[in-house]
């Protein structure tokens, strides 16, 4: 019988459920335990916590969207059991009591078992009790998720350790996206979880439905600067366990493409140090350099020019000189990028039309740089720059480690590595 057809032992309209919900809302564990232990019909009773089936109320006021046919004829109904309720809220004593009276730990009228609920909430003691009473660590919920798939924050590490100890399969994919627990750990930057799964034999390069490995997922998730440290830690771990840094997803994007799109300079450096292909091309013909140029204007607080500089020092192919107008339109607000790209050539003819590509407020905001930029129209570059270009051209993709080894002062090394100076000469 489906949850829609199921007749609950305690419907949402009952006095018991109203009192139970009130106690749950305020976190009153004593009242919750008292109601469940003394007033619920039996330990495996079905409790309906909510039901918004508007079809049961012919006189109910319906939203206009419903009336024009947008309504899907589905409604939310939350069915659960006493064990699921107490496990979800971490009420260990109540869970122990219910299990003593032989509550079924694998019953899931609402789609998730008590073990799912305990793991999602990071309730380690409840998880241990359930596993000791033969809860199935590989049971899939109605949404196709195993308990390990619900271990999505640092507080769930204890639950994850217990699950694998009791036989949870670390390579079990969820039904919708085919993501394994390792993918989930990578998505949330959980290094300790990832290490746990890898130690238990998780496949480091297994792909999900989008053909992403855990490394690919990690590089695509580090969108916030404060997060990037944890994701870098996960990347280091995955590569240590043999992850392929040049794997590609269904769009032929590599981890480097994704790290560049997010302006994750630390990840970009790490991937390049581990032989990521700096000139990999995705399905749309974009290189890692193209990815950072496309997103730079939206990532200014994360200094996207550092990523551009690193890519060029590792041998990235340069943009077509005549494409500078397009780059100016997208990156004018990050003049450091314009400076680095311009300095990667010995000489680039400046078009008068490029001035039109720069919004006036941006031009005025970075006036010294853009004045120096357009002063080079029909003017040769200085000898110092030409010498830099010749040295970089000789070193090629080895600039990143050969230049720092030169017996020259640090400021000169920085100049050779195209550290932005704020003006062009």
CB count within 10 Å of CB 412 equals 13
Instruction: Report the alpha-carbon distance of residue 225 to residue 263 in Å, rounded.
Output: 9
Instruction: Report the alpha-carbon distance of residue 315 to residue 296 in Å, rounded.
Output: 20
| Residue-level pLDDT at 72 | 45
| Residue-level pLDDT at 52 | 56
| Residue-level pLDDT at 70 | 45
In the chain, the N- to C-terminal Cα span, in Å, equals: 77
Instruction: Report the alpha-carbon distance of residue 332 to residue 143 in Å, rounded.
Output: 46
What residue segments make up the domains of the chain, in order of their start? 1-57+72-147, 170-315, 318-425
Query: Are the CB atoms for 340 and 305 separated by under 8 Å?
Result: yes
Query: Are the CB atoms for 138 and 172 separated by under 8 Å?
Result: yes
Q: At what angle do helices 124-132 and 92-100 cross, to 10 degrees?
A: 10
Provide the H-helix boundaries in 134-264: 157-165, 181-187, 191-199, 214-221, 228-240, 255-261
Instruction: Report the alpha-carbon distance of residue 272 to residue 278 in Å, rounded.
Output: 7
Instruction: Report the alpha-carbon distance of residue 281 to residue 279 in Å, rounded.
Output: 6
How many alpha carbons lie under 13 Å from residue 120 in its C-beta half-sphere?
A: 16
| Residue-level pLDDT at 42 | 84
Closest CA to 110 of 138, 133, 76: 76
| Residue-level pLDDT at 188 | 94
Query: Are the CB atoms for 94 and 29 separated by under 8 Å?
Result: yes
Query: Are the CB atoms for 266 and 229 separated by under 8 Å?
Result: yes
Instruction: Report the alpha-carbon distance of residue 392 to residue 396 in Å, rounded.
Output: 6
φ and ψ at residue 50, rounded to 5 degrees: -155, 155
Residues written for the chain = 425
Place of tokens 């949870």: 168
Query: Are the CB atoms for 198 and 237 separated by under 8 Å?
Result: yes
Characterize 135-163 residue by residue with b for buried, 16 or more Cβ atoms within 10 angstroms of its Cβ, and e for exposed: bbbebbbeeebbbbbbbbeeebbbbbbbb
Per-residue confidence of the chain (425 residues) as pLDDT tens digits? 445 556 888 888 888 888 888 888 888 878 888 888 788 878 888 888 876 554 444 454 545 544 444 444 455 667 889 999 999 999 999 999 999 999 999 999 989 999 999 999 999 999 999 999 999 999 999 999 999 999 999 999 999 999 999 999 999 999 999 999 999 999 999 999 999 999 999 999 999 999 999 999 999 986 665 556 899 999 999 999 999 999 999 999 999 999 999 999 999 999 999 999 999 999 999 999 999 999 999 999 999 999 999 999 999 999 988 888 899 999 999 999 999 999 999 999 998 889 999 999 999 999 999 999 999 998 999 999 999 999 999 999 999 999 999 999 999 999 999 999 999 98
CB within 8 Å of 311: residues ≥ 6 apart: 260, 268, 272, 278, 288, 289, 292
Instruction: Report the alpha-carbon distance of residue 75 to residue 63 in Å, rounded.
Output: 14
CATH number of 170-315: 1.25.40.20
| Residue-level pLDDT at 22 | 87
Instruction: State which fold the 1-57+72-147 domain adopts.
Output: 1.25.40
How many alpha carbons lie under 13 Å from residue 97 in its C-beta half-sphere?
A: 15
Instruction: Report the alpha-carbon distance of residue 194 to residue 288 in Å, rounded.
Output: 26
Identify the DSSP state of 128. H
In tens, the pLDDT along 345-371 reads 999 999 888 999 999 999 999 999 999
Identify the DSSP state of 68. T
Helix (H, G, I), strand (E, B) or coil at 381: coil
Closest CA to 319 of 296, 358, 291, 295: 291
| Residue-level pLDDT at 61 | 55
| Residue-level pLDDT at 141 | 96
| Residue-level pLDDT at 13 | 81
Parallel, antiparallel or unpaired: strands 47-51 and 77-80: antiparallel
Exposed/middle/buried for 75, CB within 10 Å: 0-12, 13-18, 19+? middle
């Amino acid at each position: 019988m489906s949850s829609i057809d199921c007749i609950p032992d305690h419907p949402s309209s009952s006095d018991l459920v109203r009192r139970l919900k009130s106690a749950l809302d305020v976190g009153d564990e004593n009242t919750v335990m008292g109601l469940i232990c003394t007033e619920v019909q039996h330990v495996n009773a079905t409790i309906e916590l909510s039901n918004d089936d508007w079809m049961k109320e012919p006189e109910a006021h319906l939203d206009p969207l419903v009336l024009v046919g947008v309504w899907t004829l589905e409604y939310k109904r939350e069915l659960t059991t006493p064990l699921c309720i107490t496990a979800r809220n971490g009420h260990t004593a109540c869970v122990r009591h219910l299990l003593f009276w032989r509550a079924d730990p694998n019953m899931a009228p609402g789609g998730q078992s008590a073990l799912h609920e305990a793991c999602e909430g990071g309730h380690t003691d409840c998880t241990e009790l359930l596993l000791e009473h033969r809860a199935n660590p590989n049971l899939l919920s109605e949404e196709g998720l195993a308990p390990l798939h619900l271990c999505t924050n640092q507080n769930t590490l204890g639950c994850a350790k217990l699950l694998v100890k009791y036989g949870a399969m670390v390579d079990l994919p969820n039904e919708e996206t085919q993501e394994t627990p390792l993918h989930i750990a990578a998505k949330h930057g959980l290094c300790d979880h990832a290490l746990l799964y890898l130690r238990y034999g998780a496949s480091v390069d297994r792909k999900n439905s989008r053909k992403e490995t855990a490394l690919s997922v990690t590089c695509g998730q580090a969108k916030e600067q404060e997060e990037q440290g944890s994701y870098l830690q996960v990347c280091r771990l995955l590569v240590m366990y043999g992850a392929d840094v040049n794997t590609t997803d269904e769009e032929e994007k590599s981890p480097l493409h994704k790290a560049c799109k997010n302006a994750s300079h630390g990840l970009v450096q790490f991937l390049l140090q581990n032989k990521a292909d700096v000139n990999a091309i995705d399905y749309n013909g974009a290189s890692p350099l193209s990815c950072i140029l496309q997103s730079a204007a939206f990532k200014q607080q994360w200094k996207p020019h550092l990523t551009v500089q690193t890519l060029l020092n590792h041998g990235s192919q340069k943009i077509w000189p005549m494409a500078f107008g397009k780059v100016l339109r997208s990156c004018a607000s990050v003049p450091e990028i314009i400076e680095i790209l311009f300095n990667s050539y010995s000489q680039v003819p400046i078009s008068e039309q490029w001035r039109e590509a720069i919004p006036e407020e941006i031009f005025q905001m970075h006036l010294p740089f853009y004045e120096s930029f357009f002063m080079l129209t029909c003017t040769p570059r200085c000898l110092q720059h030409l010498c830099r270009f010749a040295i970089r051209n000789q070193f090629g993709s080895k600039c990143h480690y050969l230049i720092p080894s030169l017996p020259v002062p640090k400021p000169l090394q920085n100049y050779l590595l195209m550290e932005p100076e704020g003006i062009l000469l």
